[in-house]
Structure 1
Amino acid sequence: MTTMMNSTSSLFLNSSSRGPPPWFQFSVCSVAPYGFIFYFGVKVFNLLVGTPCNVLVLWQIASRKSDACTSDIFIFNLAVMDAFFCLMTPIEMVNRLLLDDQRIWYFQRFAYGIKDVAPLYLVCICMDRYMAVVHPILFTGNRDNKIRFGISAVVWGLILAYALTKSILGVMSVNELFSGLILFSFALMVFCNLSVIWALRRCVSGKEEMHPVKRKAFKMVLIILAIIITNYLPPVALMPFVSYYSFVAFRCQISISVFSIMDLSCSIEPLLYITKMDRRDARCCGRCLHRRRKKEEAGKV
């Protein structure tokens, strides 16, 4: 292990003397650029797709006057975080490629800190659906949104504390905490979702049709399970094998690709939520936009 680190250090110093390419975090990564190409591709995709999708989710939840889901509070907060992270893309790319300003790096680490802890809101959504399906009596007695607003405030406190720590003290200061958070969130979300699926399957067995509320919960659970498997399973699967990879393989190829997949959740989450929207909601959105356009045209006349 020491020999590998020494050889890596010498390689880093030798390549540093030639000057690193501007888009590589480590100059030794010039021999393996494909991970960073994928990274920047994800960044652009999040900016172009994730930003409008998250804004649409925010607008759809904010404009909903009836038939609101108890999880919408958590989904709204998650969309705010994802939209903020997507909008950071131009700043990060300009700073990484051109400026290399230390003050902007603080802000970038803060943004990544917020994104790191985003799974906490997925956990909240999973727990909310778990209580609704597995413990419906207890859930019915606690439908007051004040409780969920309080939980959201606590989660935001944890998120800001984590993000500020990462921004000020650096990435390594929260490395172990991040690993523990991802493992904890992944395990809890899988448990909640599998419990909900099992409970719903038992309810449906012998019946022709699922209750609309339970069908809605079932769709939400499937969406979250898809997000978990797609975006959060790779880092969980990677963590036990970190010591087996070389510095170049881990830093330049594996970790950058895995965390890019996590970043994709900024676009995948709102896209899946939009596909879950009822046609009635979509028609409502269309009617609202049509009315607004007619008012603007009337105002011009």
Structure 2
Amino acid sequence: MQARYAFYSRMNYTLPSTPPPNTTIPEPANTTSKPFSVFDGCDNMVEGIVFDLAVQTFNIVVGLPANILVIAILIRNRRESSTSDIFLGCLAFMDAYFGLMVPVSFLNLYHWRSMKAWMALKFSYGVKDTSGPLFLSCICLDRFVAVLFPIAFGRLKATTYRAGLAALVLGLTFAYASAKTVGGLPNFEKVFTAEVLATFTWMVVCNTSILWALKRSRGAGKDEMHPMKKKAFKVVLSLLAIIVCNYLPLVAVFPFQDHYSPMAFTCYIQPVGFAFLNISSSIQPLVYLSRLERVPFQPGSFTKMFCRKEKKQASPA
């Protein structure tokens, strides 16, 4: 019964205990060993699980190609790269890795039913839980310093600083994912909750500060804004929208866990909440691509048609 609620107990799953070597445990008569199943405990309550699987299917159909396109664009533009591109590249790579694990998830649900495959999936869940909020925070930090502390930003423009910060985030990500894979840590879900709440708070601070800087940059009686600050505000605002839409719903349900029955929370509430987090693997690259004036590697006719449509919407009525 320790493997109960295995599939969507992404936080506190504990491996079944194993007896010491060279010992035997007598089994009661007329009993058969039940094979490991990631659906165990939710066999008759699969609606929430199906919803999350549909979202993960969207990730592999839309999110995986979009993340690969983002990585290709960043490599193509590496000579004219932005200071945040290293964080964007790491984020796209992690989301692409999470998308590649979707077929493994389906195969393990319906065919393999393997504990080893489940542990690999748990590691990918840990990577997804941590890499998104932390790398988004790094992008926000980069824009924050660029707008409010331009002199310090000029001194810290070297790639070495951002590579070091990215390495630190990757280290924290893999440490969190490893701890989740091992499982059994008490109150482990509070780490994720605190992480997302801190990220959300930081995003709000970034937006407020950059908006304040934008207002100060306007001339008397004029509405024009500094182009760099205006671009930075749009970037951070899009990041805040991602945090609110994709990460906050999951965090919001954790304080009310005790108000639901264990099976209802595990089979319905938790998978739907994680579905909002999982779909960020598609939303994040699409938001980045939408900010580009021209998307490389696309047919010229499609690009012209898309740009013509944007100009028509921007023209005054």
TM-score between the two structures when normalised by the length of structure 1 = 0.81
**2:240 is the counterpart of 1:225:** yes
**2:91 is the counterpart of 1:70:** no
Bigger mean CA offset, 223-232 vs 198-207: 198-207
Which letter does structure 2 place at the counterpart of 1:128? D
Shift in Å, 1:106: 1.4
Call closer, same or farther: CA 1:243–1:71 in 2, change over 3 Å: same
Shift in Å, 1:129: 1.0
| 1:115 pairs with one of 122, 128, 136 | 128
Q: Distance in 2 between matches of 1:55 and 1:286?
A: 13
Gaps spanning 5+ residues in structure 1: where? Answer: 1-16, 289-301
How many residue pairs match? The answer is: 265
Which letter does structure 1 place at the counterpart of 2:278? D
Q: Distance in 1 between matches of 2:268 and 2:164?
A: 40
Pairing 1:1-301 to 2, within 5 Å after superposition? 24-27=39-42, 30=44, 32-118=45-131, 119-169=133-183, 174-204=188-218, 206-279=221-294, 282=295, 284-286=296-298
Q: CA-atom RMSD, angstroms?
A: 2.4
Which string of whole-angstrom CA distances, capped at 9 and with x for unpartnered residues, describes residues 40-70 of structure 1?
A: 1001000000000000000001110444211
Shift in Å, 1:213: 1.7
Gaps spanning 5+ residues in structure 2: where? Answer: 1-31, 301-317
Shift in Å, 1:107: 0.7
Which letter does structure 1 place at the counterpart of 2:137? V
Which string of whole-angstrom CA distances, capped at 9 and with x for unpartnered residues, describes residues 55-114 of structure 1?
A: 000000111044421111101100000000001000011102221111111111111110
Equivalent residues of 1:46, 1:267 under 8 A apart: yes
Identity of aligned residues (%): 41
Bigger mean CA offset, 73-82 vs 169-178: 169-178
Q: Distance in 1 between matches of 2:155 and 2:222?
A: 27
Equivalent residues of 2:49, 2:267 under 8 A apart: yes
Shift in Å, 1:173: 7.1
TM-score between the two structures when normalised by the length of structure 2 = 0.77
Which letter does structure 1 place at the counterpart of 2:214? L
Bigger mean CA offset, 175-184 vs 95-104: 175-184
Q: Distance in 2 between matches of 1:70 and 1:88?
A: 30
Call closer, same or farther: CA 1:172–1:273 in 2, change over 3 Å: farther
Equivalent residues of 1:165, 1:173 under 8 A apart: no
Equivalent residues of 1:162, 1:174 under 8 A apart: no
Which letter does structure 2 place at the counterpart of 1:57? V
